[in-house]
Structure 1
Amino acid sequence: MDGLLEKIDIQDLLTRLVEFLPSLGAAILILILAWLLFRLTRGSLSRMLERAGFEPALVKMLISNIYRFVLMIFGLVMAAGQIGINVGAALAGIGVAGIAIGFAAQDSLANTLAGFMIFWDKPFQVGDWINVADEYGEVAEITMRSTRMRTPNNTYVVIPNKSIIDQVLVNHSKHGETRVDVPIGIAYKEDIPTAREVLLAAVKGFEDVSAVRPTEVVVAKLSSSSVDMQLRVWIDDAAIEKAVYARVMEAGKLALDHAGIEIPYHHMQLFIDKVDDRVWEGVKKLAPLSALSGPANGQQGS
């Protein structure tokens, strides 16, 4: 131990430490100034971005994460230069590491970029009811990586942002009012105007149905076994769309039943216009064979 102390020049060590203290103090001062700059400017920048129309979640993400990260990195680089670290070599190493990390996390980066696009384009916002990626529900939260939805079943669905921007999205809340189309079929023998009056009366004064927008009943399609009609009602809140759909369909069914208007099931009718005599002759020849096969098939219980 004494030999080691003899080899160390205490005076030289103290001299080097005194010479290094100003550089260390300057580095610490730079870090403190970077932190103070963030604290002093984050409020004004947040208000400026909000006035520019940015979503609050995006503003929080830009200021609390990206802006703070950039300032801290800038402060660390300047502080490292003050204490004699080769900043150029360090930045080159960070760049190489960044490329490797980028390749390893390209899915996460793609979702983050998609998050920026969602915040910028604003196809939906928190509280909207949307259809996307085979899911329907209320947007509960939007992050840079994913969008979280609450479904009518009260389940929690997390969808990567990349999946959202790559698919067709339907926003049921974007324009406030929403039209609900309820399909109801009637038989071909029934009178369409009478069915229309019955259905309109069934939903007149119906709870949650808009009294401003007119309710309509139109013929949507002539199917093989029914005249497909649509009962179109308007609602003010997309959150009740599924509930209103079910209640309106039930009310329409009960009203048609009460009026004696048939709602047919799927069936097929076969009409024979003309049959050649040779066909009937063939049927007559097969009749004895059919009679003989009857007992073989087993008429039990008679």
Structure 2
Amino acid sequence: MIGQGTHPWLIDVLSAYNRILSELFWFTVGFGVVYFGGRGVLIPLATRVVRSRNRNNPTIETATETYLRVVLIGFAILTGIIAAGYGGILSESAIIIAAITFALGIAGQQVFGSLISGMFLVADPDFNVGDWIEWPGGDGTIEAVDFRVTRIRTPNHETIAVPNTVLTTNAITRPYGRHNYRITERVFVAYYEDTERALLELQRVATALEPVLGEPVPNSRIVDLGENAITLQAEFWIDDPRNKDILTIRSDFRRLVKRRFDENGITIAPPSAQLITGDVTVTSP
């Protein structure tokens, strides 16, 4: 208890602490009620409604949850400020309004640019969670479209965060359908080799690989008559790149091609523009 002999400054300090604790308590109560109530009721309800109306588009479901969480945090902070008794400052203080405007002006360009880009990606019917995509910086499976970035799982099973603005300002390819993924491999053979036999061997190697689909049928073709070699290309499909180790499939294909070419005497194009053959005999005087 504070007695009559207590110094006035101590009374002021204790009163200030009581006021701060009270304001902090009401801020926490206001923030907690709105945030945890929204997380427990509003977001699950909205997510279920979106899921029921967009069963074939999980992108909208994940985006709805992400954006609602951001809005909910902002609304919870605002509620906490009002509950703490500082609601009048938000409408009366020109300094606070100017500071908020200044902060948004500095950070807004990138933040809002990413937000708008994310909205465009969510609205794109050809861009969905679970799709395998390729862009100039890499390729992989879309896992989520967040507030600022899109999370993509690469063929190395690494998750990378690609800024939404990168995906909206570059060409995005969804190669060859939602469920099948085409793998292309190029091989260079010498001009003096039997090209038809090399094409047939490429097709046989692709057909022999276990993960490769029978439909579409693997094929091979000539794609370029280069200065020093003929460029052949094998094309084959796998069913779901998200569940396959594409790097291992490519490695297995290359190993089998090298072994099959060696067995059949097919020469892979030499690295040099000239191929010198013959014998050199050295005689002593």
TM range (shorter): 0.5 to 0.7
Could you list the per-position Cα deviations for residues 200-248 of structure 1 after superposition, in whole angstroms to 9, with x for gaps in the alignment?
A: 2233332101012111110110011111111111111224333222211
Report the CA distance between 1:172 and its aligned residue: 4.6
Which residue of structure 2 lines up, in the alignment, with residue 240 of structure 1?
A: 245
Cα distance change, pair 225–43 in 1 and its aligned pair in 2 (3 A): closer
Which residue of structure 2 lines up, in the alignment, with residue 46 of structure 1?
A: 47
Which residue of structure 2 lines up, in the alignment, with residue 100 of structure 1?
A: 102
Report the CA distance between 1:156 and its aligned residue: 4.6
Report the CA distance between 1:184 and its aligned residue: 1.2
Secondary structure at the residue paired with 1:255? helix
For 1:84 and 1:152, the matched residues in 2 are separated by 51
Secondary structure at the residue paired with 1:262? coil
Pick the structure with greater CA Rg. Answer: 1
- Once the two structures are overlaid, the 10-residue window that deviates more, 41-50 or 232-241, is 41-50
For 1:174 and 1:72, the matched residues in 2 are separated by 44
Which residue of structure 2 lines up, in the alignment, with residue 251 of structure 1?
A: 256
Which residue of structure 2 lines up, in the alignment, with residue 187 of structure 1?
A: 190
Would you say how many aligned residue pairs link Structure 1 and Structure 2?
243
Residue 118 (structure 1) aligned with residue 121 (structure 2):
yes
Could you list the per-position Cα deviations for residues 23-74 of structure 1 after superposition, in whole angstroms to 9, with x for gaps in the alignment?
A: xxxxxxxx79x95995765554333223343633212123333257448748
Judge conservation of contact 1:127–1:140 (CA < 8 Å) in 2.
yes
For structure 1, the 5+ residue unaligned runs are: 3-30, 271-301
Residue 199 of structure 1, aligned match among 198, 202, 220: 202
**Root-mean-square deviation (Å):** 3.9
Could you list the per-position Cα deviations for residues 243-288 of structure 1 after superposition, in whole angstroms to 9, with x for gaps in the alignment?
A: 2222112212221221112222144369xxxxxxxxxxxxxxxxxx
For 1:188 and 1:129, the matched residues in 2 are separated by 37
Secondary structure at the residue paired with 1:96? helix
Judge conservation of contact 1:111–1:144 (CA < 8 Å) in 2.
yes
For 2:63 and 2:176, the matched residues in 1 are separated by 21
User: TM-score with structure 1 length normalisation?
Assistant: 0.63
For structure 2, the 5+ residue unaligned runs are: 6-29, 276-284
Identity of aligned pairs, percent? Answer: 21
Residue 109 (structure 1) aligned with residue 112 (structure 2):
yes
Secondary structure at the residue paired with 1:203? helix
Cα distance change, pair 204–187 in 1 and its aligned pair in 2 (3 A): same
Judge conservation of contact 1:173–1:237 (CA < 8 Å) in 2.
no
Report the CA distance between 1:140 and its aligned residue: 4.5
Could you list the per-position Cα deviations for residues 91-113 of structure 1 after superposition, in whole angstroms to 9, with x for gaps in the alignment?
A: x6664343212112122332233
Cα distance change, pair 165–60 in 1 and its aligned pair in 2 (3 A): same
Judge conservation of contact 2:206–2:234 (CA < 8 Å) in 1.
no
Task: Name the amino acid aligned to 1:65.
Answer: V
Judge conservation of contact 1:50–1:59 (CA < 8 Å) in 2.
no
Secondary structure at the residue paired with 2:245? helix
Which residue of structure 2 lines up, in the alignment, with residue 214 of structure 1?
A: 217
Which residue of structure 1 lines up, in the alignment, with residue 269 of structure 2?
A: 264
Which residue of structure 1 lines up, in the alignment, with residue 8 of structure 2?
A: none
Secondary structure at the residue paired with 2:208? coil
Secondary structure at the residue paired with 1:232? strand
Cα distance change, pair 144–94 in 1 and its aligned pair in 2 (3 A): same
Task: Name the amino acid aligned to 1:192.
Answer: T
Judge conservation of contact 1:235–1:241 (CA < 8 Å) in 2.
no
For 1:143 and 1:196, the matched residues in 2 are separated by 45
Cα distance change, pair 148–173 in 1 and its aligned pair in 2 (3 A): farther
Task: Name the amino acid aligned to 1:242.
Answer: L
For 2:114 and 2:257, the matched residues in 1 are separated by 45
